[in-house]
């Protein structure tokens, strides 16, 4: 209802959408609901369920043209509400969603909150020229769509909501990959032809603010909430930039009120994939649960006192035990230069 009001001008005859400053959603099927990997068709005898057919959604969201071009409806025009003013909270625990005696979670499947697939619970901006714009802020928590362990009841979702509405600093977490190396033994087993090898790289991320016993975002392999990149996608692109999540920090929530800085930790990991050669698993050098990369980062931020001031940012990798953030980061540096503080060896 809120999306239809915000982005369909025909449903807002008095132009009230311009009065909306921010928009936060909990486990919302922005791109429809899929059962067994198939979007619910727009059939008359399915009553209200058809509201989550993408064909039907394109109509009441006023996205017919964009839907015809992209075959997706998780888009909101920047001219109606900027993507920077929107936050999508995503649930990742399907097992505690008991609706329909568990049939919903069974047919919706892995990578969902029991009703909404993770990839259907986020939003992107839609530019005036019809191109897809920036992703809206998103965060993930191990909660079901509803029920005793539902996302609306979760501390994590509430903390994200309050920080998004009233916080002071926004951090968008991106992972830029410039090189992926295949195991020499796998290339040899493929007869020297690396194009025969495929793999799914799973990127984990857990971000937690200082002094709090919970996380603002949680994406881990065991909960089917990771960001993914396949070897074939990598071969086509030659580089990759993955948007993982957003973190909002609040001065009001500081543990020590006299400390000006805001801080959070980020646990970042890339799992060792199950390599495939000619569509057959290659287990010769496989160790279950291993990581290509895994480390923890502490980032400490001191916002400027006024608009004319400068940001002060420090960080420290935690690969050899806890250490406070002591490496100064120039906010003007590019991502490549900023990452030189850590050498994975």
pTM of the predicted structure, to 2 decimals: 0.91
The secondary structure of 59-128 as a DSSP string is HHTT-HHHHHHHS---EEETTTS-GGGEEEEEE---TT--GGGGHHHHHH-SSBSSSSBGGGS--EEE-T
- The side-by-side arrangement of strands in the sheet containing 132-135 is 75-77, 124-126, 132-135
Per-residue pLDDT 10s for the chain (345 aa) are 999 999 999 999 999 999 999 999 999 999 999 998 999 876 665 567 789 999 999 999 999 999 999 999 999 999 999 999 999 999 999 999 998 888 899 999 999 999 999 999 999 999 999 999 999 999 999 999 999 999 999 999 999 999 999 999 999 999 999 899 999 999 999 999 999 999 999 999 999 999 999 999 999 999 999 999 999 999 998 888 999 999 999 999 999 988 999 999 999 999 999 999 999 999 998 899 999 999 999 999 999 888 888 899 999 999 878 888 999 988 776 545 554 444 443
- Which DSSP category does 196 fall into? G
Q: Are 91 and 151 in contact (CB under 8 A)?
A: yes
Among residues 137, 271, 278, 331, the alpha carbon closest in space to that of 216 is found at: 137
Q: What is the pLDDT of residues 130-177, one digit of tens each?
A: 999 999 999 999 999 999 999 999 999 999 999 999 999 999 999 999
């Amino acid at each position: 209802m809120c999306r239809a009001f915000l982005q369909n001008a025909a449903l807002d005859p008095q132009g009230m959408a311009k009065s909306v400053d921010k928009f936060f959603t909990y486990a919302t099927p922005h791109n429809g609901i899929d059962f067994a990997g198939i979007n619910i068709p727009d059939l008359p005898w399915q009553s209200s369920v058809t509201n989550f057919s993408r064909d039907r959604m394109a109509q009441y969201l006023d996205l017919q043209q964009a839907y015809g071009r992209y075959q997706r409806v998780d888009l909101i025009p920047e001219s109606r509400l900027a993507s920077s003013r929107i936050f999508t909270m995503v649930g990742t625990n399907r097992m505690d969603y008991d609706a329909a005696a568990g049939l919903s979670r069974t047919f919706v499947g892995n990578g969902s909150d029991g009703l909404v697939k993770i990839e259907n619970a986020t939003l992107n901006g839609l530019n005036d020229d019809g191109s897809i714009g920036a992703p809206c802020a998103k965060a993930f928590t191990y909660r079901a769509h509803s029920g005793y362990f539902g996302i609306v009841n979760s501390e994590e979702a509430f903390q994200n909501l309050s920080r998004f509405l009233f916080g002071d600093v926004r951090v968008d977490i991106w992972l830029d990959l410039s090189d992926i190396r295949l195991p020499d033994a796998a290339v040899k087993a493929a007869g020297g032809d690396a194009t025969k090898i495929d793999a799914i790289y799973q990127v984990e991320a857990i971000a937690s603010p200082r002094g709090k016993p919970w996380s603002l975002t949680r994406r881990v392999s065991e909960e089917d909430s990771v960001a993914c990149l396949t070897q074939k996608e990598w071969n086509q692109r030659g580089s990759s930039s993955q948007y993982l999540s957003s973190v909002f920090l609040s001065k009001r929530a500081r543990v020590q009120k006299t400390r000006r800085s805001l801080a959070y930790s980020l646990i970042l990991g890339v799992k060792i994939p199950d390599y495939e050669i000619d569509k057959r698993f290659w287990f010769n050098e496989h160790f279950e649960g291993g990581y290509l990369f895994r480390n923890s980062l502490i980032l400490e931020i001191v916002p400027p006192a006024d608009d004319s001031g400068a940001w002060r940012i420090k960080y420290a990798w935690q690969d050899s035990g806890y250490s406070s953030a002591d490496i100064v980061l120039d906010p003007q540096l590019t991502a490549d230069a900023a990452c030189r503080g850590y050498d994975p060896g």
